[in-house]
Structure formats: structure tokens, C-alpha cells
Chain A
Amino acid sequence: MLSFVLRKMGMLIPTFLGITLIAFFIAHLIPGDPASSMLGILASDENLRLSMIRQLGLDQPLTVQYWHYLSATLQGNLGSSLVSREPVLAEFLRLFPATLELTFFAMTFALLFGLGLGIVAAVKRGSLLDRSAMALALIGYSMPIYWWGLLAILFFSIGLGDWLPDLALPVSGRIAAEYDLTPITGFMLVDSLLQANHAAFRSALSHLLLPALVLGTFPMAVIARMTRSSMLEVMREDYVRTARAKGLAPSRVMLVHVLRNALVPIVTVVGLIVGPLLGGAVLTESIFSWPGIGRWMIEAVWQRDYPILQGGLLLIAALVIFVNLLVELLYGLLNPRIRHG
């Protein structure tokens, strides 16, 4: 087991280095030189520009620059935003809880409904229930997220706002502007409870519903389909038929044997969904003005704030690699064949 873990971690190193290379080159591939970007309106002053170039070390050979970049990165210095002058890492850590809260709820929704739909579909295979569940999943799988978001706002915020104003969901943001919560953990729900502000908690919850629903639709569809096919496959296996032949109640068979074994590939899928989830978060956060790292990255693209682009990509990639590593370890744990294969 240990060698497996070490082997997997070892493979991470070249991947991580590759990512730092990409991040490093982003700054140099963007048209215009980084010194001018940093100086902005003062860039027309040639002396200032040249001294900035020297200060940033841009006149040195690329390999030297990369080495400096790498060592700075490993020490946690990812540069500062060109717009706000705040360190990139600090901004990331400040905004990440918002995205985490959103993706957590989206994933919960996806798991609950995905597993539910998938199990029902597998158990009632071939029935109308099965077909409608899979049709629903297929639609959720094919829908553009931002379109779904716009429609959701149309129905649940604006539409309900006209018909049933008390039930209408908020249009954007994490919480109503009146609530000034001190950010302790960065998670609105937790912070509001810690500060015993129940009205704020309710506000934060209502703001979370729609974005989580929109973001969680795609993973839900994937999980539903995966659950169904995985369960069906397991149900075909010999040992299940043996269990049934031995006289075990069908439900017990389902729960104990089928589901548990079907969960294995589902775990993999859940892990691999992190990437698309973060990608979907970019779009969801744009639609709902959710102040997380997705929106942060898009604003950075718009503002040509390349330190954020560099640092953000690096951090997000590191996150995805880390989650994938956990999933691969988990997978190895559950499936001994992989460990030694």
C-alpha cells in the first residue's frame, strides 16, 4: 500500500512542475509586456518602464526567471493583483470559501438526487419511471449552465416575485446586503450561526438554493446515469444471483451487495467531477454574482490582471490534482487489483 501511495505522489511532481511552466508562460504569452501592464497609465514614461523591467527581473534569461518564479511560488508568493495590489494567494483564500460552500451544496444536491434517480431507475429498469429519470438526466447533461441559470432566475426570482413574492428567491449575491457578518470561516451559513444571527442564516440559505441547484444539475445527471449503469452491471454479476438464490430478501441484496459494489465507480466519478464542477462554478458565479474564485478568474481575464490568472490557475490545478490523488488512493483502497496492476 505504501509503495502505491508513494508512486502516486511521485507522479504528481512532474505534473505540478508542468503546471508551473504553463502558469509562468501565461505572463509572457499575453501581448504587451508585464511591466507596461503593471504601470498602466504611467507606462508611457520610458524610464519608469525600464526600471520596472529591471525590478521585475524581466531582462534576465527565461530560465533564470522561471527559477525565481518557481522558488517564489513554492514559498507561497504568487504575486499581487495588478488592480487591487493585494497578494494573489490572500485573495484566493478569501474568496475560496464562497466557491467551496457553493460546490459543497451543489454536490450534495447532485448526490442526493443523482443517487436517488439512478437507484430508482436501476431497480425499476425498463419502466416509465426508469425512462423518465434517464430522460431527465440526459437533459440535465445537455443543458448549457448559464442558460439554465438565466431560466432559473426568470422562474424562481422574477416569476415568483410577481406571483408569490414571499417565496421568490434572491437574484444574486450570497446574502442580503443588510447583514454585515464578520467573516470567521468564510462560510455564510456557519458564520451566521456562530454569530447567532438567524435572520442572516435564512438569508444566506435562500441565496444558496438557486445557484446550488443550477451548478449541481450536470453532476446530478452524470451521477444518475453512472449509478444506474453501475448498479445494473453489478446486478448481472454471478454473486448477486447467488445471493438471491440463497434466499436473501431482494431489498437486502440490493442494499448490501449491489449498492456497495456499485459505489466504487461512483466514487471515481465523484472525484473526477471536481474539474467540471469548478468549470461550471465559473459560469454559475457569473450569473448569480457569487463572489467566489470562478467570478474572480473571469474578472481577471476581463481586466487583463495576469498575476491572478497565473496564480489562480496554479492554485485551482493544484486543488484538482490533490482531489484526484485522494480519489486514486481511495480507489486503490477499495479495489486491490489496481494497487498491484
Chain B
Amino acid sequence: MPPSHDSIVIGGGLVGAAIAWGLTGQGLRPVLLDEGDVAFRASRGNFGLVWVQSKGFGAPHYQRWTRASAGEWPALAADLAARTGRDVGLRQPGGVQLCLSDAEYEERAARMAQMRAEAGNFGFDYRMIRTPELRGMLPGLGPRVVGASFTPYDGHANPLVLLHALHRAFTEAGGTYVPNAKVEDDIHAAPHDFAVTAGGQRFAAPRVVLAAGLGNAALAPHFGLSAPVRPQRGQVIVTERTAEVLPMPVTTIRQTTEGSIMLGDSVEEVGFDTRQRPEVIRVIAERAVACFPWIGRLNIVRAWSALRVMAPDGLPIYDQSEAYPGAFTANCHSGVTLAGAHARLLAPMIAAGALDMERLGLLSAHRFAHGEAA
């Protein structure tokens, strides 16, 4: 018999680590299996926004889940600071999306109005702000900026410190972290009875959580689950550190607590290809300079690409196995934004043995069952 744990979490990135740590708060002592540095490591490439305003157009349940996560974030950050001494750099001053033409502004205004309409009684607080007023909020705006949407829910944090703090809090709470532990095909799944081989060891538990990012697509069917996720490449540019300039994040531009300015938000469908393309980097840089011309005078010190974990409709997927109760899956491209929800809302559901379908039912992979199943 393999050594038995009360739960196995597959995937040591932000999603897996947040859930695993959350489970320790429910009295469980999970084993967290992490593939290794050959993995695609979306959590290492994250932009670091805790972002609400663009999430859930046409899907108000996703807006509610995202907003709930942003609401849990201050407690998450405080808890991690108290347990690990790490400051994850959470700032939630609100955020803006800049518009570089009247057409962009009108389209954004219509989108935000639609978001408010869909939110119903839940509400959706936002403002469309024209440039004269915006200049008082953000310094050094370029002449092409005509306005912006603002919501008070948005913020940002340091994704690498978050990942480290989650891991540390998890192991200090009694969880077991196993690196270089890619789960192999030798998988046993039965109701409340699971076993996997990883890193040459066998692990067994009555509960398993698939949080392996892009790896979930292949893992899920072994557990009677479906996770039709694909890679979507994003590229990021980072400038030298500067004295604080930006008092709040912009969808594609944020200044870290250390002073670096991060530029990003590209989207490419290129499969499992993590190379960088100068053409895309140029577009990111051009847009950033159009928003804030002074960024053009800064040195770029790093640039990278990473693969988002993307479902066919761009929303997260949360599921519990009907064939094998005790198996769960979590998939998303917003590991930072949703960390609050994963640690503090999702983990208690998993520990209790059932997802709250009122909250997460519409985010099940069942939504892909009709028509073009992936």
C-alpha cells in the first residue's frame, strides 16, 4: 500500500498552491505534486494584476466570482504576511483601461454599461472618465488618450512573491510539497479512492484536485472529468525600476512596488510555443508609449512569454467528478486574481466534498457538452 494522504493536489503553480494551502485551513494535510522546471509554468510568467473590470462580459457569474476573489484578497495577503512574513505587494486602488480613440471609448462605454446591466442587483460600480479629468489621476498621459473606464475593484500584486508565500505557508501548515513529480499515466480512480505515480513514488488519497494548468487537459479524463484547455501565448516587457509614477494599474501597464514598469497583454494562438516575437513586443511597446510617452525613455531590462491556460470561452472551469466523487478540477488563466477565491472559497468546498453549484455550476465543463465539444 502506498503512503496515504487525505488529499492530493496535482500542480504546484498558483492555482494548485492556493487550493492546497486553503485545504490546510480546513484541517487537511495535502500532498502537492509539482511537475518540475520542464513545465510551462504559467505562474512564473504572470503579469500580476488582481483584475475585475474586464472579466465576465456576457457571463455575470464569472464577474461575481472574480469580484468575490478580489474581495477575499486583502484577507489572503494579510494571512500570508502573518504566517510567512512575506509582503505580496497587494495594492487595490482601482484600475483603468485607457482608450486611444473615440471609437475605443464608445465601445468601452457600451461594454461597461452592458456589464452593469448583466450584474443586476449585484451591481457593477464603474465610471467612464474623459481625459481632462483623467490627467489628474494618471501623470504624463499621451495626446492620443481620449479617456478610460475605471472600476474601484481592480489592483495588482507580486505574483512571484505570492507563489513563494503560498508554498511556504502550505508547508509550514503541515502540507507536503513534492517537486519533480509529474503524474504519469499509471492512474487509479474510484469513488473517494485515488492513486497516482509521480517522481517515482506512489501517492494515494480519497480526494484529488487537478490544478496542473495545461496538463489538466490530459489528466482530467482519467478522473471522469473534462478540462478542454489550450495554450494561449502572452508576452511581457519589463522596464528598469523608477521612482513611483503610476498610482494605479492600467489593463496593460502596471508599476510594481519595487518600481519596475510591466507592459503586456498580447494574445497569440501558437500552441505550445514559448518563443518571443519582436513584432508582438513592438506592438506592446508602441501602445504603452502612446498611453504614456515617458515610458519610451526607459530601458527595457527583460521580456518573456508564457502560456495562458485558456478554455474555449475564456472562462475558468471548475468541476467535480460524477463518476469518481472526490475528484475536482480547477482551470483558469487568472491565477493571481483568483487566488483569493481559490484559497478561501473553493478550498473549503473541496474539503467539504462538493462544489457550491449556485456559485460554480455555470463554470462546469458541462457547458461545452452541447455543440462543439472540445
Pair from one complex = no
Name A's B-contacting residues (CB within 8 A): none
Name B's A-contacting residues (CB within 8 A): none
